[in-house]
Homo-oligomer: A and B are copies of this chain.
Amino acid sequence: MVVKVYGPAYASPKRVMVCLAEKGIEFETVTVDLIKGEHRNPEYLKLQPFGALPVIQDGDYTLYESRAIIRYYAEKYKSQGTDLLGKTIEERGVVEQWLEVEAHNFHPPIYDMTVHILFASKLGFPSDEKLIKESEEKLGKVLDIYEKRLSESKYLGGDFFSLADLSHLPFTQYLVGPMGKEYMIRDRKNVSRWWNEISNRPSWKKIMQF
């Protein structure tokens, strides 16, 4: 049974897809066009009642929320492909900590920047320049803490690549690419080293093509 991933053009589904690639799990994709409002179609809302991306279908098992899906596959296929959770419960705890930091500290400002720099005009509302500026300041402070962490540890969750790192890939790619803000990464030595390592993984190079 091949896993179906909805919405491969967007960042959050790519979080799932790069996890599946790391685990060597075959998947196919189903297009959902946010610009056309397809995430508000009744058929889609039956799968994801909040109208958000992504959803996966794996046989008769349906799951949404990208960070729940990556935890599910990382655990279900623990010993297949890259181990993304750590060897011990204590290591997993630290991975979970940085996965939560990604969700609650890193994601909100980079998400607001993505929406207002890349998508506002396509979605038909004006960019909020004040919000963009404030978000960049917030993200900079988060990256300063990452810089310190990554001066002490090879990856965020420890000395191994994990879900905590993987979860940063899609939105950071927007930041360094179409948003034109690569300096936020390059101005910080250890963040820059970390970004080189995680963004050059074959899994991410493959998923970036979608």
Contacts and interface: CB of A to CB of B under 8 A. Distances in A.
B97 A63 contact: yes
Counting chain B CB atoms within 10 Å of each CB, the highest count among A69, A89, A105, A142 belongs to A89
Contacts of A49: 145, 148-149
Given A65-B100, A65-B104, A72 B50 contact: no
A168 B89 CA distance: 24
A92 interface: yes
Interface of A is mostly: helix
A112 B72 CA distance: 30
One complex includes copies of this chain to the number of 2
Interface string A71-93: 11001100000000000011011
Counting chain B CB atoms within 10 Å of each CB, the highest count among A50, A75, A93, A149 belongs to A93
A100 B67 contact: yes
Contacts of A72: 89-90, 92-93, 96
A64 interface: yes
Interface residues of A, number: 30
B145 A65 contact: no
Given A50-B101, A103-B103, 13 more contacts: A49-B145, A49-B149, A50-B142, A50-B145, A61-B90, A63-B93, A64-B97, A67-B100, A68-B97, A68-B99, A71-B93, A72-B96, A76-B89
12 contacts: A49-B149, A64-B97, A65-B101, A65-B104, A67-B96, A67-B100, A72-B89, A72-B90, A72-B92, A72-B96, A75-B89, A103-B103
